[in-house]
């Protein structure tokens, strides 16, 4: 950096510093838990997309789940899931979503090219050619801002084509050289839509998909997205549409969704009511202004400096392909039965139960409206957690020397995946709490109706020691109130929940707030005593 330019850094507030330190601590713990391959992918991705550790890791999971989907099926009693993970990053504008894609997109493109070049991927039995031969599936990226039926699922196009000439008995008519004669005729040819095929369906501006802003034209797109996320173990994933001419168009989409958007209006309503988002793993981050400021400063520091990006892109593409080949070999070893590719331990199921209970405990003290919406995600998040645990096992397979211990899903793999899923679940809950601006069913101040949490909060205030500030009696220490709320003998709630409630009730006007130095004090309003 030019030494003649002197930047005067703005000091962080106490709240900013706490937020920053907590973020750094969470990031370190998060990184240490991940499989080595995913962690390294993440570390290189955040070099171009500052602080986006979790979205970077999730992007890696999306690619992994897509390239092994034909080799791996995950049993769950009488149902079967495929390995695909669908991810939506909902994040403040200017916080690195597009720059992350500038890394993820080229990596996935190169991986797909390598797979296509082998020509040995399982055949696409849904689309045989005119002579009945099937070719290996093709992988590519799909990005679009069009959401019409014709664009997404395709249709039939009338074109001039060569038609074989036959006699009255249906026998081919040959020319003087012995070749079958053809003639030009108008005919209808199947024209596949953008969704068809394997690879990624990427939206950089998912807010325009129709999920957040409904329109008659885009409502059908939601149906298509829901359908493509159905398990590939069956026929329910095939998108069908009856065209105007009466024929049925079927779109064979086996893609994984990787979508990005800023937090649009009515996000809470969409999250609560639209099944599309509930079937994806969401990462919702309202990036603080000071963090955006840090990101901008980093951009300034990199301005005019050339850094090699192609090398890590090529290296990760090679590693993804190595994993792909290893899983394919395993698939062939078990008789090409995708249900036998992975093995599952007892600790796998035990740790799943732990993760489930952790999610339930996290929302037990939240507002009923928040708890209801979050609960809608729980079942599907468990399915995603299982898939990601499987992918963690796959990511580690190359580094396991003993072949018999490869492709075994353990409790540790669940913990690795759980670390990611839990953080995404937490961001969802916090966003709901913030966005709903919970006011206990919007009751007015002065209402005698109290929630159990509010009642516990008021009781805790009454147990705290009163002090006098500014010649006014009836003030209480915030620290003492939170301590009273979270006291082990009362069994009321954990301290983090107490702190969260304090912020919620502060916004609702439950009490007045004042400071003496760094100490925070509160006073219950007369009408709420």
In CATH, what number is assigned to the domain containing residue 467?
A: 1.10.10
What is the span of the domain harbouring residue 275?
Answer: 26-123+255-436
CA 205 to the chain's CA centroid: 15
User: Whose CA is closest to 41, among 95, 104, 92, 87?
Assistant: 104
Residues 305 and 331 in one domain: yes
pLDDT at 389 over 70: yes
d(CA 258, CA 448): 47
Q: For position 417, what pLDDT does the model report?
A: 95
* CB neighbour class for 420 (10 Å; exposed up to 12, middle 13-18, buried from 19): buried
Indicate which CATH number applies to the domain containing 432. 3.40.50
| Contacts with 309 (C-beta within 8 Å, 6 or more apart), sequence order | 48, 103
Q: Does one domain contain both 283 and 365? A: yes
| Residue appearing with tokens 């890394």 | 103
Q: Is the pLDDT of residue 375 over 80?
A: yes
pLDDT value, residue 128? 78
Give a yes or no: residue 245 inside a domain.
no
Which residues does 198 contact at the CB level (< 8 Å), separation at least 6? 66, 69, 137, 138, 139, 140, 254, 255
Does 233 reside within a domain?
A: no
- Domain end marker among 384, 401, 436: 436
Please, what sign has the CA dihedral across residues 52, 57, 62, 66?
A: positive
Helix (H, G, I), strand (E, B) or coil at 311: helix
Cα 384 to chain centroid distance, Å, stands at 9
Q: Would you give the end-to-end CA distance of the chain in angstroms? A: 59
| 2-6, 77-81, 409-413, range with the lowest pLDDT | 2-6
- Examine the domain organization and report whether 371 and 467 are in the same domain: no
Residue 305, judged by CB atoms within 10 A of its CB (0-12, 13-18, 19+), counts as: exposed
Q: Kindly compute the dihedral angle of the four CA atoms of residues 288, 293, 295, 301, in this order, to the nearest 10 degrees.
A: -170
pLDDT at 200: 96
Could you tell me if 490 and 408 lie in one domain? no
Cα Rg of the chain (Å, integer): 28
293-317 pLDDT, tens per residue?
Answer: 777 777 777 777 766 667 799 999 9
Position 392 pLDDT exceeds 70: yes
| 143-166 average pLDDT score | 78
Report yes or no: 228 and 195 within 8 Å, Cβ to Cβ: yes
309 and 403 in one domain?
Answer: yes
Q: What percent of the chain has pLDDT over 70?
A: 76
Domain boundary among 410, 436, 462: 436
- 246 assigned to some structural domain: no
Residues 354 and 456 in one domain: no
Looking at the fold, whether 352 and 466 belong to one and the same domain comes out as: no
**pLDDT grade for 441, boundaries at 50, 70 and 90:** very low
One domain, residues 368 and 488: no
Question: Does residue 353 sit in the same domain as residue 470?
Answer: no
Give me the pLDDT at residue 271, please: 78
What is d(CA 96, CA 49) in angstroms, rounded to the nearest whole number? 5
Q: Give mean pLDDT, residues 384-401.
A: 96
Per-residue model confidence as pLDDT tens digits over 20-32: 555 555 555 555 5
Domain count, the chain: 2
DSSP label of 221: H
Q: Using a cut of 0.85, tell me whether the model's pTM lies above it.
A: no
CA pair distance 81, 33, nearest whole angstrom: 25
Tell me how many helices (H) and strands (E) the chain has. Answer: 16, 17
Q: What is the CA 228 to chain-centroid distance, rounded?
A: 16
Lowest mean pLDDT among 186-200, 292-306, 411-425, 490-504: 490-504
What's the angle, vertex CA 465, arms to CA 444 and CA 474, rounded to 5? 45
- Examine the domain organization and report whether 291 and 359 are in the same domain: yes
Report d(CA 137, CA 150) in Å as an integer.
Answer: 22
Say yes or no to pLDDT of 511 above 60: yes
**Mean pLDDT calculated for residue range 321-332:** 97
pLDDT band at 17 (very low <50, low <70, confident <90, very high): low
């Amino acid at each position: 950096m030019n030494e003649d330019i002197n930047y005067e850094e703005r000091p962080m507030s106490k709240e900013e510093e706490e937020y920053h330190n907590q973020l750094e601590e969470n990031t370190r713990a998060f990184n240490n838990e991940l499989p080595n391959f995913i962690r390294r992918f993440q570390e290189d991705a955040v070099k171009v997309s500052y602080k986006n550790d979790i979205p970077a890791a999730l992007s890696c999971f999306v690619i992994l789940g897509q390239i092994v989907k034909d080799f791996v099926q995950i049993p769950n009693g009488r149902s079967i899931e495929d390995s695909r993970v669908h991810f939506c990053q909902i994040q403040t504008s200017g916080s690195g979503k597009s720059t992350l894609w500038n890394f993820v997109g080229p990596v996935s493109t190169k991986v797909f090219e390598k797979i296509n070049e082998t020509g040995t991927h399982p055949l696409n039995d849904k689309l045989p050619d005119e002579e009945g031969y099937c070719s290996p599936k093709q992988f590519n990226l799909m990005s679009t801002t069009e959401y019409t039926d014709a664009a997404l699922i395709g249709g039939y196009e009338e074109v001039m084509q060569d038609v074989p000439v036959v006699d009255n008995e249906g026998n081919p008519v040959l020319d003087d050289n012995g070749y079958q004669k053809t003639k030009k005729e108008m005919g209808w040819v199947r024209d596949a839509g953008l969704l068809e095929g394997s690879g990624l369906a990427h939206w950089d501006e998912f807010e325009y998909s129709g999920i957040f802003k409904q329109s008659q034209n885009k409502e059908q797109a939601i149906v298509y997205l829901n359908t493509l996320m159905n398990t590939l173990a069956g026929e329910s994933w095939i998108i069908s549409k009856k065209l105007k001419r009466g024929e049925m168009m079927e779109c064979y989409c086996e893609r994984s969704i990787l979508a990005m958007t800023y937090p649009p209006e009515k996000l809470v309503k969409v999250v609560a009511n639209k099944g599309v988002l509930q079937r994806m793993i969401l990462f919702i981050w309202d990036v603080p202004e000071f963090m955006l400021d840090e990101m901008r400063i980093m951009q300034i520091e990199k301005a005019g400096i050339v850094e090699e990006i192609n090398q890590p892109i090529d290296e990760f593409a090679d590693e993804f392909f190595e994993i792909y080949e290893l899983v394919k070999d395993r698939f062939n070893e078990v008789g090409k039965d995708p249900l036998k590719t992975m093995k599952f331990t007892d600790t796998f199921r035990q740790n799943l139960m732990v993760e489930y209970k952790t999610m339930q405990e996290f929302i037990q003290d939240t507002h009923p409206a928040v708890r209801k919406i979050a609960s809608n995600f729980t079942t599907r998040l468990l399915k995603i957690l299982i898939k990601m645990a499987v992918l963690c096992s796959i990511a580690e397979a190359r580094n396991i020397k003993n072949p018999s211990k490869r492709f075994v899903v353990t409790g540790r793999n669940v913990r690795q995946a759980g670390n990611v899923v839990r953080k995404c679940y937490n961001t969802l809950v916090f966003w709901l709490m913030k966005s709903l601006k919970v006011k206990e069913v919007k009751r007015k101040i002065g209402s005698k109706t109290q929630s159990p949490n509010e009642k516990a909060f008021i009781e805790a205030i009454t147990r705290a020691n009163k002090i006098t500030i500014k010649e006014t009696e009836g003030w209480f220490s915030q620290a003492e109130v939170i301590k009273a709320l979270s006291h082990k003998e009362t069994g009321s709630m954990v301290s983090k929940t107490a702190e969260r409630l304090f912020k919620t009730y502060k916004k609702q006007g439950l009490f007045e707030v004042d400071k003496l130095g760094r100490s925070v004090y509160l006073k219950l309003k007369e009408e709420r005593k």
